[in-house]
A and B are shown apart, each in its own frame.
Chain A
Amino acid sequence: MGRLEEIKLAKEIIQALLKAKKAVRMYPENNPIYARTVDDVLLKFQDFFTSRSDLHLRIKQNELFLDTEQIYHNPDKEDNLALFFFKDGLRELIFDKDLAKNELDEFLKIIALDFDREAVEDDIVTLLWEKDFHAIKYVVDEAFLLEDDTYESRAVSEVKSLAPQNDELLKAYADAFTADDVKDISIVNLSDKDLQTLVREIEKDLEEKTGKLSEILFEMLFHTESSIEYNDIYHFLTDVIFYSLRHGDLKTVVEIMKKADEIAASPASSENSKHQMRLLTKTLSSDESIKYLGEILESEEALDDTLIHEYVSFLEKDAIPPFISTLGQLKSIHGRKQVINILIGIGKKDLPALAKGLHDSRWYVVRNIIYILRHIGDKKAVEYLLSTARHSDVRVRKESIKALGELKSPLALQILRDCLDDIDTSIRRTSAKSLSSIGSETAKQLLMRKISEKDFKKKDLEEKKEFYEALSRWNDDAMADFVLKTLRKKSIFNKASVDENRACAAYCLGIMERTEALSALSKLKDTKNRLLREYVNAALKRIKHGS
Chain B
Amino acid sequence: MAVRETAEAIKNARDIINQFAVIVRTAQIHDPNNVAVLTAIDRLIVTVNPFVDAGSSLHLELIGEFFYLNEARIRYPMEYLLNFDFLVREFKRRGLGNITVSSRITSEDIQKFVKAFISCSFSGEPFQALSKALADVHSLTVGHLKKISEEGEFDVRRLVKKTYFNAVSYTKGVITKIQGGEKFSIKKAKRVVESMVDMILEEEELLIGMTAIKDYDEYTYHHSVNVSILSVALGQRLGLNKKALTEIGLVALFHDIGKIEVPAEILNKPTNFSEDEWRIMKRHPFWGVRAILKLKGLDATSIRTAIVAFEHHLNYDMSGYPRISKPLVLDFYSKIVSLADQYDAMTSARVYSRIPLAPDKALSIMMERAGTQLDPLLFKFFINMIGVFPIGTLVLLDTKELGLVYGCNTMFPDRPRVLVIIDGTGKRIESRIVDLTERGPRGAYVRSIVKTMDPNKYRINLAEYLL
Contact = CB atoms under 8 A, between A and B. Distances in A.
Interface of A: 89, 100-103, 121-123, 125-126, 129-130, 132, 134, 142, 145-148, 151-152, 155-156, 158-160, 162-164, 167-173, 175-177, 179-182, 185-188, 190, 192, 194-195, 197-199, 201-202, 204-205, 209-210, 212-213, 215-217, 219-220, 222-223, 229, 232, 236, 239-240, 242-243
A145 B191 contact: yes
B458 A162 contact: no
A121 B294 CA distance: 17
Interface stretch (B101-109, B209-217, B340-348): B209-217
Task: Tell me which of B72, B170, B303 has the highest count of chain A C-beta atoms within 10 A of its own C-beta.
Answer: B303
Nearest to B294: A232
B170 A147 contact: yes
Contacts of A152: 161-162, 165-166, 169
Nearest to B5: A100
Given A169-B421, A220-B322, 19 more contacts: A100-B5, A121-B187, A123-B190, A130-B242, A145-B188, A146-B170, A152-B161, A155-B218, A160-B461, A163-B464, A168-B460, A171-B458, A173-B396, A176-B394, A177-B396, A182-B452, A185-B414, A198-B239, A205-B332
B144 interface: no
15 contacts: A101-B2, A102-B6, A121-B299, A126-B190, A130-B243, A151-B165, A151-B166, A168-B459, A179-B452, A190-B384, A198-B239, A201-B377, A220-B289, A236-B293, A240-B298
Interface in B88-136: none
Contacts of B198: 129
Q: Is the interface of A mostly helix, strand, loop or mixed?
A: helix
Contacts of A160: 461, 463-464, 467
Nearest to A240: B298
B: interface residue count bin: 35 or more
Interface string B419-432: 00110001010000
Contacts of A181: 450-451
A164 B459 contact: yes
Contact of A164 (B332, B450, B461): B461
B458 A172 contact: yes
Contacts of A123: 187, 190-191
A236 B296 CA distance: 11
B467 A167 contact: no
Given A121-B186, A147-B169, A195-B81, A100 B463 contact: no
A159 B214 CA distance: 9
Contact of B166 (A142, A167, A185): A142
Interface stretch (B21-29, B33-41, B323-331): B323-331
B181 to A, nearest CB: 15
A535 B380 CA distance: 88
Nearest to A123: B187
Nearest to B412: A187
Nearest to A152: B165
A216 to B, nearest CB: 5
Interface in B2-25: 2-3, 5-6
A160 B414 CA distance: 29
B78 to A, nearest CB: 6
B325 A126 contact: no
Contacts of A239: 293, 297-298
A197 B187 CA distance: 34
A118 to B, nearest CB: 14
Contact of A132 (B2, B242, B333, B377): B242
A247 B67 CA distance: 40
B444 interface: no
A80 to B, nearest CB: 20
Q: Which 3 pairs between the two chains have the least Cβ-Cβ distance?
A: A147-B173, A152-B165, A151-B169
A102 B396 CA distance: 55
B252 to A, nearest CB: 15
A172 B453 contact: yes
B300 interface: yes
Contacts of A201: 332, 377
Contact of A170 (B6, B186, B428): B428
A216 B331 CA distance: 11
B422 A169 contact: yes
B304 interface: yes
A176 B451 contact: yes
B365 interface: no
